[in-house]
């Protein structure tokens, strides 16, 4: 289901105009894997969605990639904050658990619903993470691509986990 993957990638790369990210008006438009190379640092792979509009060969395309990539540092599982965890999300969560590669939940569209709905969905998500996961980062990232909420923090996290940005130690100066 349209969770805003392309919009998030566009927001993440908003400071690097040389990385072109196309966002379709049609929900569920990503039908193949799109690779975004970030200098010599890392590559972000935009996978097709896994909801009701998923491409027929979704599993054949995605599973081998996730299972065989030795250099896969982190998987980001996007959940629509305005609707909460869906059945398809739980299946994707199980797949991430099976692969045993660390993954992170990114809650998108947090601007699309009232705080009560968001809080209910987050408490439910937190409960699932606590009781049903072993490889999931405990803290979900809350994002609004539209308002840029949480985007900077997610950028910092990606830079950190890819090990591509070293912070200068200023304590010696």
- Whether residue 85 lies inside any domain: the answer is yes
Instruction: Please report where in the chains the tokens 């010599």 appear, as a residue.
Output: 40
Task: State how many domains the chain has.
Answer: 1
Q: Do the beta carbons of residue 75 and residue 96 sit within 8 Å?
A: yes
Rounded Cα distance, 96 and 41, in Å:
24
pTM of the predicted protein model: 0.85
- For 158, the domain range is 5-162
Closest CA to 42 of 16, 24, 6, 60: 16
Q: What is the CATH number of the domain that holds 50?
A: 3.40.50.300
Question: In sequence order, which ranges of 74-135 are alpha helices (DSSP H)?
Answer: 87-99, 115-132
- Whether residue 171 lies inside any domain: the answer is no
- Whether residue 172 lies inside any domain: the answer is no
- Whether residue 173 lies inside any domain: the answer is no
- Whether residue 81 lies inside any domain: the answer is yes
Q: Do the beta carbons of residue 151 and residue 107 sit within 8 Å?
A: no
Token code pair at residue 128 = 């699932």
Burial of residue 19, with CB atoms counted within 10 A of its CB: 0-12 exposed, 13-18 middle, 19 or more buried: middle
173 residues of the chain, pLDDT tens digit each: 578 888 898 899 888 777 766 665 555 555 678 888 877 788 888 887 776 666 667 777 788 888 888 889 999 999 999 999 999 899 889 989 998 889 999 999 999 999 999 999 999 999 999 999 999 999 999 999 999 999 999 999 998 998 866 656 666 55
Q: Do the beta carbons of residue 103 and residue 74 sit within 8 Å?
A: yes
């Amino acid at each position: 289901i349209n969770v805003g993957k392309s919009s998030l990638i566009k927001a993440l790369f908003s400071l690097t105009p040389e990385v072109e990210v196309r966002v379709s008006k049609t929900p569920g438009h990503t039908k193949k894997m799109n690779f975004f190379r970030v200098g010599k640092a890392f590559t972000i792979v935009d996978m097709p969605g896994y909801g009701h509009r998923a491409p027929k060969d979704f599993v054949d395309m995605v599973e081998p990639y996730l299972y065989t990539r030795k250099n896969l540092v982190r998987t980001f599982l996007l959940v629509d904050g305005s609707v909460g965890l869906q059945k398809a999300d739980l299946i994707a969560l199980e797949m991430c658990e099976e692969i045993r590669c660390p993954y992170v939940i990114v809650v998108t569209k947090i601007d699309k619903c009232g705080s009560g709905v968001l809080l209910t969905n987050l408490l439910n998500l937190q409960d699932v993470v606590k009781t049903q996961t072993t490889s999931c980062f405990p803290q979900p990232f809350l994002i609004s691509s539209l308002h840029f909420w949480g985007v900077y923090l997610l950028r910092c996290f990606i830079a950190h986990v890819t090990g591509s940005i070293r912070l200068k130690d200023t304590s010696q100066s």
